[in-house]
Amino acid sequence: MKPSRTRHPGWLKVPLPAGKNFHEVRRLVESNQLHTVCQSAHCPNIGECWGHRTATFMILGDTCTRNCRFCAVKSGAPQSIDYAEPHRVAEAVKMLSLKYAVITSVTRDDLDDGGASIFADTIYQIKKVVPGCQVEVLVPDFNGSESALSIVIVAEPDVLNHNLETVPALYPIARPEADCQRSLKLLALAKEKGMLIKTGLMLGLGETNEEVISVMHDLRKIDCDILTLGQYLRPSSEHLAIHRYVTPEEFAELKRTGIRMGFRHIEAGPLVRSSYHAASSFEEISN
């Protein structure tokens, strides 16, 4: 299948970021020397989310040790660990009056624990500074380290998220330094330890519908609770091309299929990203 060269369809158009809340969140992020995946990953929903005073904080710097060919986050030699960062994140969560915080990170293969201890400290700090705030963590694969995963789980996040990103057949071209089975095992281990688990897939990279359904079945075998499905959007000409645009109707059908399989919640649509409507998703399955 040849990559698509057409302009984005109408259903992917979003308003330009604007408004008082958007600019307040931007100032808060910058003044606290924080990073967000909203900015680093060129998320199309930044205007909507920041407009509602929500953001996904990205810890452990803004430079990833891996070089996935779909991702806008820069790769290279990462910064040294900033041990004051967890407290600054917690203070930002407090200033935003968040009741649900999403924390993610770049991948840090240079660290013995993959950054798990900083994830744990961030969870502790948020729950100390903002009592009652739920915390969702979107973690890397920690190179399959069960001990690193345990460090995060002991800190008691409310949701453990780790994205598969795509179907196994596309891993060699999309994320060659990752392994789908390793990621599935990480999610399975988290579930065995009592976590609510979540994952996400990008569509439009060249996968078939049958491959997507197969991955969904694999996720249900490990009792995955929450699934996000969204359209892959090419960050630059240096990244993987878009093979096709998945229609809103196709996303809706995949959602129906997943609910029949037993997923407790699915966010599916062209603009859906991993932390999109994360708080409402958690609330829905917690009630």
CATH of the domain at 282: 3.20.20.70
Question: Quick check: is 88 in a domain?
Answer: yes
Question: Taking 90 as the threshold, does the pLDDT of residue 33 lie above it?
Answer: no
What residues does 102 pair with on adjacent strands? 56, 136
Instruction: Name the one residue in this structure whose structure tokens are 């399975």.
Output: 188
Question: Quick check: is 259 in a domain?
Answer: yes
Question: Quick check: is 4 in a domain?
Answer: no
Question: Taking 50 as the threshold, does the pLDDT of residue 3 lie above it?
Answer: no
Contact 111, 79 (CB under 8 A): no
Domain that holds residue 66: 15-286
Q: What is the pLDDT of residue 51?
A: 56
List, edge to edge, every strand of the sheet that includes 35-36. Answer: 35-36, 56-59, 100-105, 134-138, 159-161, 197-203, 226-231, 265-268
Distance of CA 243 to the CA centre of its chain: 22
Structure tokens at 3: 């990559």
Question: Quick check: is 78 in a domain?
Answer: yes
Beta strands 265-268 and 159-161, pairing class: unpaired
Question: Quick check: is 38 in a domain?
Answer: yes
Tell me the pLDDT tens digit for each residue of 44-78.
Answer: 656 566 555 567 888 999 899 998 988 888 889 99
Question: Quick check: is 9 in a domain?
Answer: no
The torsion angle over the Cα atoms of residues 230, 233, 239 and 242, rounded to 10 degrees, is 90
Question: Quick check: is 6 in a domain?
Answer: no
Cα distances (Å, whole numbers) of residue 54 to 37, 48, 275: 12, 9, 10
How many structural domains are present in the chain? 1
Contact 60, 142 (CB under 8 A): no
Q: What is the pLDDT of residue 140?
A: 97
Tell me the pLDDT tens digit for each residue of 10-23.
Answer: 877 766 655 666 76
